[in-house]
A and B are shown apart, each in its own frame.
Chain A
Amino acid sequence: DAGVIQSPRHEVTEMGQEVTLRCKPISGHNSLFWYRQTMMRGLELLIYFNNNVPIDDSGMPEDRFSAKMPNASFSTLKIQPSEPRDSAVYFCASSFRTGGDNEQFFGPGTRLTVL
């Protein structure tokens, strides 16, 4: 079985450009999570979905960030316009359902560099 798939694996862009990160969760998983990881702030939850519906987006840093999940097998995280401080590794994770009692499976991550 394929794990969580993310694309691209690396993205280098210039300040002000739009960036779209993509995620395909594990088939059958109903919950999807977007995380950002930096040295300074660690592993932060940005937003999570349950059954394609956004449940908690309190971790989204500002209006420049948006996330969608149009169907059970695809989600995007968009940054527009991007800034150098957005440089980080962005992970997508999925689990069978939400709740603190469920293992999360992480994708390989997208390393974003904004120049």
Chain B
Amino acid sequence: QQPVQSPQAVILREGEDAVINCSSSKALYSVHWYRQKHGEAPVFLMILLKGGEQKGHDKISASFNEKKQQSSLYLTASQLSYSGTYFCGSGNTGKLIFGQGTTLQVKP
């Protein structure tokens, strides 16, 4: 079952913050986050493996609430380079099922 992401699209000004949510109706064993820029391949951001786990990479971080079967991606003080489509992936028994994506546009 495909995870559901919200919102579908976000427009920000440089320096603003954003949160992207990912939820699943089935148990989440792990959550992956990828970013895809227009015309390019998805690029890995991070994996969260355990409930309660939080990770950060530069000013992008994520949390994983296993009980609520959801994960959130936090983008702090957004930069122009953050623009793209963000996908969460539900990991289970060897494969990933991706959400529909959240398009983020950062304007100067």
Chain A residues close to B by CB (< 8 Å): 31, 33, 42-45, 48, 50, 55-56, 91, 98-109
Extra A-B contacts (16), CB below 8 Å, given A33-B95, A106-B42: A31-B94, A33-B96, A42-B98, A42-B101, A43-B101, A45-B97, A48-B95, A91-B41, A99-B91, A99-B93, A100-B30, A100-B49, A100-B95, A101-B91, A103-B44, A104-B32
Q: For A50, what are the chain B residues with a Cβ–Cβ distance below 8 Å?
A: 94
A42 touches B100 (CB 8 A): yes
A56 touches B42 (CB 8 A): no
User: Given known contacts A42-B100, A42-B101, A43-B101, is B91 in contact with A100 (CB within 8 Å)?
Assistant: yes
B42 touches A103 (CB 8 A): no
Q: For B100, what are the chain A residues with a Cβ–Cβ distance below 8 Å?
A: 42
The interface residues of chain A, by DSSP majority, are classed as strand
Q: For A105, what are the chain B residues with a Cβ–Cβ distance below 8 Å?
A: 44
What are 13 A-to-B residue pairs whose CB atoms are below 8 Å? A33-B95, A42-B98, A42-B101, A43-B42, A45-B97, A99-B93, A100-B29, A100-B49, A100-B90, A100-B93, A103-B32, A103-B44, A104-B32
B97 touches A101 (CB 8 A): no
Q: In the complex, A56→B70 CA distance in Å?
A: 25
Q: Give chain A nearest CB distance to B11 CB in angstroms.
A: 19
Contact indicator per residue, chain B 26-63, by CB within 8 Å of chain A (1) or not (0)? 00011010000000111110010100000000000000
Q: For A102, what are the chain B residues with a Cβ–Cβ distance below 8 Å?
A: 47
Q: Give chain B nearest CB distance to A49 CB in angstroms.
A: 10
